[in-house]
Structure 1
């Protein structure tokens, strides 16, 4: 694949700096950014919380009913009626409470599912749109594997955060308060104090150890993103790997990342085992103390056998969710970290943004003017120096020159992928920075130097120039680009899949698909950036005639290496080191015996040879 030397190669950071926020915000700040998305579902949240409260009241009622059931069995001999009626009623009530707990829980999840899925969808869509709004510079520097991993984890974090907080943390706190109140009211305060002390110790231990473990989790995620990025990058460049016989080299690079990932996972697992062991020790100690206190009360006659069963049931119900508190807290912390990374993508400033009062481009002929334009991708290495030229409405202007002279940069600036450092670019007198980017790009069509296709059908890729185009329009565009015959000859015709980035097609076939796509768009301003560079001479001449026909009554900018394709241009600009060194039509430039004439003689002698 060719690369325009005018575009600087991105750096290769150890991790995806593009996806990471500049500063780590607090957990509460991340939650605050999530709340507006949930606010639109506030009624569902309220109803879900009501069902959750009902489920918890029913759950707390189960041990109370179990106590009554056990105590009712201690009846006087011969009381057959009470033996038949009381336990049966209590058993039915016990079953109803158990059913109510599950029923209210399922209703809560059913009601709140729309809020959870809707929130995840809204955030994911906003991130997707924002990524498309970011500048070309961001997309040249990003690492696709790491960034997609961050988005995937961020979307999953929305589900986890809402589920764990609403379905685990809040219900557990409510149940703890209810149980503490019942123990303090029905028995002596020691039961409540033991429970409260155990809870405080358990939560403090869990939070302290989990906070300590968070750095290992972050490191694990970063290494996971790096390994994923290397794997994706290697697979995307499959042919290059094969060309240089570097399969073993790529495997070693990937294995180095996997080894670092393995060590990080082992460290994470060992610290998790430490956390779980400490939690179980606290829970077991609290249970022993509570049961010892309850057993002593039964022996002393202060408590019934049903009270002992109730205390045990309360402790089991309370400590089962607490047993997962470490996992829940860790997942919430991890979800907040992942969500923060995705919000960090949303906070990436758009280098090229519409002005608040941006207007829609009003095309009157698509005359283009560059006035004293200077530009640099990197301030230390300017690309364009005081470039001025005009493309009159309905005319064709060509730009030629050696590689790295800044030819393709002109097209990028016209598309407003970047904003110029100084000067002015206008279309029909309307300065680009005063226009909406959408209306500007709608008026421009381009056949790029390096064609990249979607991993979809040929028909989809051609119709991308005009979504909603009919099959007849797609085929007409394909005929104009001289690719219909090739498509029709394939077994699946227009439903043929082109593969990742179009790699199942040859360079010439991809370029003709790109030409068909642009012809279908049919914009008033067209840019051909080495549009026929991948074609053989016969196809180039045929398609050049179609391009000339498509450019009739349109404003055309041609960026060319082969001078034979631009001899009919209204004006030819010769660019060297970012400066226009010659300009004029073909005959005038040849007569000057300058740079253009020298390039022409070299190409003609090369063609003759």
Structure 2
């Protein structure tokens, strides 16, 4: 059974429909001035629109029977003028409401993106990237009509309905009662349709997210390579076909849900003029009091004018209920708890020396305690400019230890300090300036070489970029490319080899110039020859910096000031290369294993 990654999302405490509606209204609060102007234009437009039936009544009851041509001309000009003014008001209303709606869309997109940027690394390890993209693109995009036109349509149609009913009552209350007899039933039917469409909309958005995930994963460079080398292109196409069929079915259901019920409402409202003419005609035939032909025609004109906003108002109610499913999915992301936050009174380090200390550090990916802690009782000190190497078997906690320094995770016990300050007390800017990371998996954007390097330092000059590339021993290769530093690196840097990407990552870090450097198995995936070239670049990068190296190949860390062997999250051994060899313990065993693997290789 396919499990939706949203199953792990927290459920907001306030998820009732009234609470959601109030929250949606709060999105428009910053633009209440412009919305008030829209409301004024809507009210004015409705009042101007109501003038035509009364002008028509005067034509039929006074101007035409009494042959008052001057009055007839004025009334006709009045009707034309009302139409012109109404059109101008409509254009202004659309312009302002669309602008407000797009600003609300912008606010939502940036709020969701900012919240996701503040999420801990653990969130992204358990959430599919396609799901995240679908929330921002499909869900927020699907709300566009709601925030740009639906709100205005609601106000406009509601104002028109109220004003029209008031005018109808002024003309004849009996005909008004006949016209409005079925409105409560229509409102109930539209509410039922709205609930049905909301449920289908929620299913459709989940299906869109599933398809976005599949496209993101299978049509990336890595996905294409895997699919073709495994001979799975046909099965992936078949699976996508099934997902697309499922989406097509949901789209049909969303488009047709409640159509018959809404059609019945439209038919009844369209047939109402015939009922009114029959009722009015019978009253006139039998001498009903207070009803003239002009009044009857003007009333039917008002009633026909009531048809469009009433049906539109009922449809708008359905659309709003459907869009609540989209808002709920967006609010789920906005309500995600931010686990790693900047303190209220952060400490800013103006001059960073680079001393790093771990004091009785403990860490668990599951603080509830159902999973054993990853790190326990870690006590380490790395002086400014010193070097620490961390080795150990897979799963011993090496990478986790390195991720605590830049606060990719927060400790669950103890402290990590930089220059004597707990990293949880540092402002984010100081922390990002202090720590640079070069990992085994290098990520490059689909942009030029220069743009990828400038990501570390946007204001870097061309000469600074070239100097960083020279230090990383990648300048000559870049310079030999037809477009040099303007060469596109391709999706995830696939135009470059593993060693070249690593040296680009090193050049990027050199440009950043952090006093503390973390090397997380930066050469473990490289062949021996490429590793030697990259290691030279790493040596240039490490000079004069505090360096913490997570090592897979022990040949790269022999000269470290201190070597620590982790085992099951605890420090099993600690010392220099010579000291640990003399102990003939775990470190010596790891060295013998490496030597055997090198011999077999």
Tell me the TM-score normalized by structure 1: 0.90
Contact 1:361 1:430 in 2 (8 A): no
Given candidates 185, 193, 210, the residue that maps to 2:194 is 210
1:460–1:486 distance in 2 versus 1, CA, 3 Å: same
Task: Please report how far the alpha carbon of residue 73 of structure 1 lies from its aligned counterpart in structure 2 after TM superposition.
Answer: 6.3
| Alignment-derived partner of residue 490 in structure 1 | 481
The 1-side partners of 2:555 and 2:23 are apart by: 58
- Aligned pairs for 1:566-605 within 5 A: 566-605=557-596
- Aligned pairs for 1:231-246 within 5 A: 231-236=215-220, 237-246=223-232
1:359–1:554 distance in 2 versus 1, CA, 3 Å: same
Q: Alignment partner of 2:393: what SS?
A: coil
Contact 1:478 1:513 in 2 (8 A): yes
> Does residue 405 of structure 2 align to residue 414 of structure 1?
yes
- Aligned pairs for 1:249-260 within 5 A: 249-260=235-246
Bigger drift between 463-472 and 539-548 goes to 539-548
| Alignment-derived partner of residue 265 in structure 1 | 251
Task: Please report how far the alpha carbon of residue 15 of structure 1 lies from its aligned counterpart in structure 2 after TM superposition.
Answer: 4.9
Bigger drift between 57-66 and 112-121 goes to 112-121
Q: Alignment partner of 2:164: what SS?
A: helix
| Alignment-derived partner of residue 508 in structure 2 | 517
Contact 2:5 2:127 in 1 (8 A): no
> Does residue 356 of structure 2 align to residue 365 of structure 1?
no
- Aligned pairs for 1:160-199 within 5 A: 160-187=145-172, 189-199=173-183
Deviations 1:16-53 (A, max 9, x none): 33567446712332232234442222221221111111
| Alignment-derived partner of residue 16 in structure 1 | 6
Task: Please report how far the alpha carbon of residue 298 of structure 1 lies from its aligned counterpart in structure 2 after TM superposition.
Answer: 5.1
Task: Please report how far the alpha carbon of residue 457 of structure 1 lies from its aligned counterpart in structure 2 after TM superposition.
Answer: 1.7
Q: Alignment partner of 2:388: what SS?
A: strand
| Alignment-derived partner of residue 562 in structure 1 | 553
Task: Please report how far the alpha carbon of residue 538 of structure 1 lies from its aligned counterpart in structure 2 after TM superposition.
Answer: 4.0
Given candidates 440, 456, 460, the residue that maps to 1:449 is 440
Bigger drift between 262-271 and 49-58 goes to 262-271
| Alignment-derived partner of residue 29 in structure 1 | 19
Gap regions ≥5 residues in structure 1: 1-10
Deviations 1:174-228 (A, max 9, x none): 22222222222222x2211122223222222211232244323322222232233
| Alignment-derived partner of residue 295 in structure 1 | 281
| Alignment-derived partner of residue 7 in structure 1 | none
Deviations 1:397-432 (A, max 9, x none): 111222222111111111212122222211111112
> Does residue 472 of structure 2 align to residue 481 of structure 1?
yes
1:296–1:19 distance in 2 versus 1, CA, 3 Å: farther
| Alignment-derived partner of residue 381 in structure 2 | 390
Given candidates 272, 275, 279, the residue that maps to 2:265 is 279
Given candidates 430, 433, 440, the residue that maps to 1:439 is 430
| Alignment-derived partner of residue 310 in structure 1 | 298
1:48–1:213 distance in 2 versus 1, CA, 3 Å: closer
Given candidates 124, 127, 133, the residue that maps to 2:118 is 133
Gap regions ≥5 residues in structure 2: none
Task: Please report how far the alpha carbon of residue 524 of structure 1 lies from its aligned counterpart in structure 2 after TM superposition.
Answer: 0.8
Task: Please report how far the alpha carbon of residue 290 of structure 1 lies from its aligned counterpart in structure 2 after TM superposition.
Answer: 2.0
The 2-side partners of 1:585 and 1:305 are apart by: 107
Contact 2:363 2:373 in 1 (8 A): yes
Deviations 1:34-84 (A, max 9, x none): 3444222222122111111111111111222233344466346xx5xx44x
Task: Please report how far the alpha carbon of residue 461 of structure 1 lies from its aligned counterpart in structure 2 after TM superposition.
Answer: 1.0
1:607–1:130 distance in 2 versus 1, CA, 3 Å: same
Contact 2:34 2:100 in 1 (8 A): yes
- Aligned pairs for 1:67-106 within 5 A: 67-71=57-61, 74-75=64-65, 82-83=68-69, 85-106=70-91
Contact 2:38 2:97 in 1 (8 A): yes
Tell me the TM-score normalized by structure 2: 0.91
Deviations 1:118-145 (A, max 9, x none): 2222222122111111111111111222
**Equivalenced residues, count:** 593
> Does residue 316 of structure 2 align to residue 331 of structure 1?
no
Contact 1:16 1:226 in 2 (8 A): no
1:498–1:71 distance in 2 versus 1, CA, 3 Å: farther
The 2-side partners of 1:217 and 1:546 are apart by: 53
Task: Please report how far the alpha carbon of residue 326 of structure 1 lies from its aligned counterpart in structure 2 after TM superposition.
Answer: 4.2
Bigger drift between 532-541 and 418-427 goes to 532-541
Q: Alignment partner of 1:317: what SS?
A: helix
Task: Please report how far the alpha carbon of residue 606 of structure 1 lies from its aligned counterpart in structure 2 after TM superposition.
Answer: 4.2
Task: Please report how far the alpha carbon of residue 285 of structure 1 lies from its aligned counterpart in structure 2 after TM superposition.
Answer: 4.5
| Alignment-derived partner of residue 4 in structure 1 | none
Contact 1:416 1:437 in 2 (8 A): no
The 2-side partners of 1:145 and 1:249 are apart by: 20
